[in-house]
Amino acid sequence: MKLGVLISGRGSNLQALIDACANPDFPAEIALVISNRPDAAGLERAIKARLNSQTIDHKAFKDRESFEDELTNALQNAGVELVCLAGFMRVLTPKFTERWAGKAINIHPSLLPSFPGLHTHERAIEAGCRFAGATVHFVSAEMDEGPIIIQATTPILANDDANSLADRVLQAEHEIYVRAVRWIAEGKILIKNGSVSIEGIEDEASYYLPTTKRSV
């Protein structure tokens, strides 16, 4: 399966996909990396991996629709079958999400439906949550509300701040994003009535990331 990876920043989840695709047994390959920011560090990861990459700067377009038309043209020209949002910091219009319905996924650093949007780790700590986590879901017109594919949890420790919690959740993100892409490429994912079922491996859609740190 040919992947199109959309990034805006450092591209750590892109790197997880690059590493996975380097395995001959992995059923997907990265056909194109697109950044909406010319200074995104993730572009260097793509160049180092000798991937087809380009910048489509949203600031160069008069509106969201024309920007997204250019995204779609680039993705289609590269033969992309699955769009992977990996820290892509743009709100997508219904036109784009409908065009790629069932063919676009996102990684979000919280246990959705809790804490959609930004500053998820600060909000989880402030709310007194005992666990945080990450979610891979299909992209829908409503931000961070698409059908959930897989989630990972990790404890929130008594001495955690947003940075320490983010570092731990990021480890889980890398693990579950690769799993989700594999399942989709292998044809194991079915969306029915707004929910995801995974052929033969439902129990693997919950991932627990323990920690060796002790709370105080």
Q: Which residues are catalytic?
A: 108
- Specify whether the CB–CB gap between 85 and 135 falls below 8 A: no
* Structural element, H or E, at residue 157: none
- Specify whether the CB–CB gap between 85 and 103 falls below 8 A: no
State the Cα–Cα distance between residues 135 and 177, nearest whole angstrom. 9
Helix 12-21 to helix 162-185 angle, to the nearest 10 degrees?
A: 40
- Residue 65 is encoded by which pair of tokens? 């629709």
State the Cα–Cα distance between residues 132 and 172, nearest whole angstrom. 10
The answer to whether the Cα torsion of 65, 36, 133, 99 is positive or negative is positive
State the Cα–Cα distance between residues 79 and 15, nearest whole angstrom. 21
Query: SS3 of 24, please?
Result: coil
